């Protein structure tokens, strides 16, 4: 069964460093998403991406964040200058559409900022 994959599973970085989190969505899916979950808190929407552009973003998704689909398979989340409060589990998700239907989630990347 096709699944969303994410790499790395765990990333440790120093404050101020750039990180790139990688995702491979399910191959025939058209809509892509990033969510994050700070330890002990709820899963929060960051951004959605369709047709090679951002379709929605939350207040969390400020200028420090960017997303890209550099080729036909990868979907990346970049944090330019990490802060301590960026430490969280980051989930990638995708769906085929319509956009309101179920989203398929990856296993997540745990980001630790020291």
Partner 1 sequence: AQSVTQLGSHVSVSEGALVLLRCNYSSSVPPYLFWYVQYPNQGLQLLLKYTTGATLVKGINGFEAEFKKSETSFHLTKPSAHMSDAAEYFCAVSDTGNSGYSTLTFGKGTMLLVSP
Q: In the complex, which residues of this chain contact partner 1 (CB under 8 A)?
A: 4, 6, 31, 33, 35, 41-45, 48, 50, 55-56, 58, 91, 93, 98-108
Nearer to partner 1, 12 or 15 (CB): 12
Nearer to partner 1, 64 or 99 (CB): 99
Q: How far is the CB of 44 from partner 1 (least distance, A)?
A: 7
Asked, as a colleague might, if the bond just before 20 is cis with ω within 30 of 0, I would say no
Phi, psi of 102 (to 5 degrees): -60, 145
Nearer to partner 1, 61 or 79 (CB): 61
Spatial neighbors of 92 by CB under 8 A, at least 6 apart, are 4, 6, 21, 23, 25, 32, 33, 34, 35, 75, 77, 105, 106
Rg of the chain over all Cα atoms, to the nearest angstrom: 13
Q: How far is the CB of 73 from partner 1 (least distance, A)?
A: 18
The tokens for 46 are 């960051």
Q: How far is the CB of 76 from partner 1 (least distance, A)?
A: 17
Q: How far is the CB of 16 from partner 1 (least distance, A)?
A: 29
């Amino acid at each position: 069964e096709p699944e969303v994959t994410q790499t790395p599973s765990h990333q440790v970085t120093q404050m101020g460093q750039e990180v790139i989190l990688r995702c491979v969505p399910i191959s025939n899916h058209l809509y892509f998403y990033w969510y994050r979950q700070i330890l002990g808190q709820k899963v929060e929407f960051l951004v959605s991406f369709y047709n090679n552009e951002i379709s929605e973003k939350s207040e969390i998704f400020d200028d420090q964040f960017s997303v890209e689909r550099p080729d036909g398979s990868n979907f990346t989340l970049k944090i330019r200058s990490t802060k301590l409060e960026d430490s969280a589990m980051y989930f990638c998700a995708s769906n085929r559409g319509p956009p309101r239907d179920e989203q398929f989630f990856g296993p997540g990347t745990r980001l630790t900022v020291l």
